Every structure is written in structure tokens, then in C-alpha cells.
Amino acid sequence: MLLVKHLLETKGAQVHAIAPDEPVLAAIKRMAEHQVGALLVMRGDTLLGIVSERDYARKVILHARSSADTPVAEIMSSPVLTVGPGDSVEACMRLCTDSRVRHLPVLERGKVIGVISIGDLVKATIDEQAQQIEHLQRYIVG
């Protein structure tokens, strides 16, 4: 069974974050710079929330708010759904689907150790299924 810790071993544990008092414009620039769709909102090592492109579109653009004047804390999603390194990819996919979220911070002993996205989960599932198909084909042929 594929676990979150296996995904982090493959993709790495890099976390992109922003402070809650920084302007939304800084968050959008950082997302673009790192080519990610969300940032963790953190004060030091403490996870406060998550801010995504969806939050920006729905809470800034649609309300004609200023990206330069609105602090991230005002549009972030909180509390954040999190997972642990021992959670299965399948359980994480179910959580993302049921909760309509695309990013899950990974916590171990209360500390952020990584972030996985729905894209990471889909890729892992496709790769695992391809391996299973290959094994079954070898079994049938051999």
C-alpha cells in the first residue's frame, strides 16, 4: 500500500509558506515563482491556514478587493485539513474529493514535514496501477 511518506520520499519535503500578515499580492507572486497552487500560512513553525489560487479568485477578485492591501490572513482557509506520513494515498484521495481541497499539509508530531497535492496523489495512483498491470501481464504470460 502506498503511503504519504513514500510520496514525500519521491517528491521531496519542500514547503512553500507565507506569513499571515503579508499581502495577498506577495502570496500570488510566490505561487507563480514556485509554480504551485497554494501556500501554507505559517507563523514560525505553526501552521495557521492555507491560501490557494481558488481563495484568491473567490475572496479577492470576485469581491473587488485590493491584492496589495489585503492580508493573507483575511482570505486563507482555516482550519486546515492535514494528513500524516502513515496515511494511505487512497485515504488522502478520498479526503481531497470529499472535502473539495487540492492540497494537504503533512504533519508529524504537530510539525509540517511536507505538502501533497491532488496531482501527486493521482500520479502515484496511476504509477501504482501501471505496476500492477505489468505484474499481472507477466504472471499471465509467464
pLDDT at 138: 83
State the pLDDT confidence band at 13, using cuts at 50, 70 and 90. confident
Strand-pairing partners, residue 50, are 40, 77
Which amino acid is it at 8? L
For the chain, give every domain's residue range: 4-141
> What's the pLDDT tens digit per position in 56-79?
999 998 888 899 999 999 999 999
- Mean of the per-residue pLDDT values of the chain: 93
> What's the pLDDT tens digit per position in 80-120?
999 999 999 999 999 999 999 999 999 999 999 999 999 99
- The two beta strands, 38-43 and 17-18, are parallel
> What's the pLDDT tens digit per position in 117-132?
999 999 999 988 888 8
State the pLDDT confidence band at 1, using cuts at 50, 70 and 90. confident
State the pLDDT confidence band at 49, using cuts at 50, 70 and 90. very high
Tell me the pTM: 0.89
CATH architecture of the region 4-141? Roll (3.10)
Cβ partners under 8 Å of residue 26, min gap 6: 18, 72
SS (H, E, C) the chain: CCEHHHHHHHHCCCCCEECCCCEHHHHHHHHHHHCCCEEEEEECCEEEEEEEHHHHHHHHHCCCCCCCCCEHHHCCECCCCCECCCCEHHHHHHHHHHHCCCEEEEEECCEEEEEEEHHHHHHHHHHHHHHHHHHHHHHHHC
pLDDT at 134: 86
Judge contact between 13 and 113, C-beta under 8 A. yes
